[in-house]
Amino acid sequence: MGTKNLSAKPAATELPYEISEYLKENFREDFLTEIKKTTTNDGKVIYKVDVSNEDQLYHLKFNSKGLLMEKEMEPILELDIDEYGVVD
């Protein structure tokens, strides 16, 4: 399923209610890092939401009705100051 170049960055208040509720229930203390609304080639609306906490970055994909379609996560790597030194 391809996507068109029709994408926008909606404010968190423009998300469907179901997505907002999912985020409140599952990521209460975490941070929204990106929200993107995309339209696929066949006209379906997809919301892509990135949420981070202290050690994980979550990539979430919702359909236009606010149902979670995909959830991926990756560790957030911190630089080891001893290894890389301090930048002045």
On average, the pLDDT of the chain sits at 81
Protein fold of 3-76: Nuclear Transport Factor 2; Chain: A, (3.10.450)
Tokens, residue 29:
């203390």
pLDDT digits (tens, 9 = 90+) for 13-33: 578 999 999 999 998 878 888
Instruction: Tell me what pLDDT residue 87 has.
Output: 54
Which residue from 53, 83, 58, 86 is spatially nearest to 73, judged by alpha carbons?
Answer: 58
Instruction: Tell me what pLDDT residue 13 has.
Output: 59
Residue 47: CB atoms within 10 A of its CB come to 21
- How far is Cα 29 from Cα 61, in angstroms, rounded to an integer? 20
**Size of the chain in residues:** 88
In the predicted structure, residue 34 carries a pLDDT above the cut 80? yes
The proportion of the chain whose per-residue pLDDT surpasses 70, expressed as a percent, equals: 73
Q: How confident is the model at residue 54 (pLDDT cuts 50, 70, 90)?
A: confident
H or E stretch at 84: helix 81-84
